[in-house]
Structure 1
Amino acid sequence: MKQSRLMSLVEALANVVVGYGVAVITQILIFPLFGLNATLAQNLMIGAMFTLLSLARSYALRRLFEQLRERQTMGQGSARPDRSAT
């Protein structure tokens, strides 16, 4: 069964929100281990930047794989031998 556009949007938003939260919490826990002391506001801003970069990366990869899928689909259609001609 195919996912509706609304549910795709809900899934994408949930993914972004959860990813952002994980990023900020990870930064708060990991940065001090490396001697980096950032304020909560700085951690929120860094998390937002990484989230935007992640969205751009995800979108670019999704479009790339869609192009590959389209090429594969088109290639399969033209690669079949025409048996009716023999």
Structure 2
Amino acid sequence: MTQSRMMSMIEAATNVVVGYVLAIATQIMVFPWFGIETGLAEHMTIGLVFVGVSLARGYLLRRVFETWRRF
């Protein structure tokens, strides 16, 4: 069974959303250990910078592996 492009995007988006929430929670806990003090808005902005990259990475890797699976 193959995975459609739409399902690849849904899977990648779900992975990114879960990762984003975990990243924000982790930043809130870890940043103070390194003397980095930021507010929630900054944490969310930092996280958003990586959302696009993570979404593209997840989608592209899924499509690469789906293509390789066919060979």
Q: Which residue of 2 aligns with 1:14?
A: 14
RMSD: 2.9
Q: Deviation digits for residues 30-66 of structure 1, max 9, x if unmatched?
A: 1111111111100001111112211121122223323
1:38 aligned counterpart, secondary structure = coil
Larger radius of gyration: 1
Do the aligned partners of residues 61 and 4 (structure 1) sit closer, same or farther apart at CA in structure 2, a change above 3 Å counting?
Answer: closer
Q: Give distance in 2, aligned partners of 1:19 and 1:3.
A: 22
Q: Which residue of 1 aligns with 2:42?
A: 42
Give % identity: 50
8 Å CA contact 2:12, 2:58 repeated in 1: no
2:22 aligned counterpart, secondary structure = helix
Do the aligned partners of residues 66 and 11 (structure 1) sit closer, same or farther apart at CA in structure 2, a change above 3 Å counting?
Answer: closer
Counting only pairs closer than 5 Å after superposition, residues 2-81 of structure 1 correspond to structure 2 as: 8=7, 11-67=11-67, 69=68, 73=71
8 Å CA contact 2:24, 2:43 repeated in 1: yes
Question: When the two structures are aligned, how many residues end up with a matched partner?
Answer: 70
In structure 2, stretches of 5+ residues that fail to align are none
Instruction: After the TM superposition, list the runs of 4 or more consecutive aligned residues in structure 1 that deviate by more than 3 angstroms.
Output: 1-6, 8-14
